[in-house]
Amino acid sequence: MGTLNVDAINDAAGSITALDVTKEIGIWQFVSTAAITAAANLNVTGIAAGYDYLVHLEAYCPTTDAGYLWMRFSDDGGSSYEAGASDYGWSGTGYGAGLNDAADSEIQIGGNSYASGNDAASVNTMSIEIVNPGGSSEHTTCHFHGVIMYTDVSTRDVNGGAIMIGSTAAINAVQLGWSTNYGTDTFKAQGDITVWRRRRS
C-alpha cells in the first residue's frame, strides 16, 4: 500500500506567489492540494517554522468499513512518525457522544464514538488546524471539526482537539491513516487534501 505525499511548501523559496508573505500576517495562504488516491497514508511534509497549518480533507472515505481517522506527527521530516504509547492526548465528540484518551499512540480525529463507513455514497470532510508545529518550546496542539458518514450512512458532526504530550520538538510532517489496519488499509481514490498556512508574526 502506497503513501500520498503532500508537500506543504509549494516552491523552493517557500513563498506564495499571490501574496507578500512579509506583510500578510493572520491570513490563510494556499499552499497545495492533491487528489486523494488509494493510499494507506496521507503525508503532509515540508512544514515550516513560523506558521500555523490548516489541513482540509474533502469527500474522503476508507476502503475498509468502520474506520476511525488517525493522525501522527513527525519531527524528522517524515522519515518516521511518533507512535509511542503516551505520545499524544486527545479528546473528541461525535453527535453528542464524547471520548478522550490522556495517553495514546495516535490522535483519533473526532474521537472514536462513530466510525466512517465505506458505502458507495459515503463521503467525509474534516478540517484540522495545527497550531505552531514548528515551535520547539511548547507541545504542538491541534483542533479539528468535520462531518463523517457513519457506517449506516447517516451523518455525524465531529470535533475535538489534541496535544503531542511526548515531546516539545518541532513538528515538520503529519501523517493520516485508518485505525482498522494503520499503514495498510487505504483511503478510497476520491476527494482531495488541501493545505493552507498562516504566518504567526
Which of 85, 31, 28 is closest to 193 using CA atoms? 31
Angle at 107 between CA 68 and CA 6, to 5 degrees: 85
**CA Rg value for the chain:** 16
For residue 48, the 8-state DSSP code is P
Grid cell listed for 14: 517557500
- pTM for this prediction: 0.89
The model's pLDDT over 68-127, given as tens digits with 9 standing for 90+, comes to 999 999 999 999 999 999 999 999 887 556 788 999 999 999 766 678 999 998 999 999
Q: Which residues of the chain have pLDDT under 70?
A: 1-2, 7-24, 95-97, 111-113
Which of 80, 85, 99, 13 is closest to 48 using CA atoms? 13
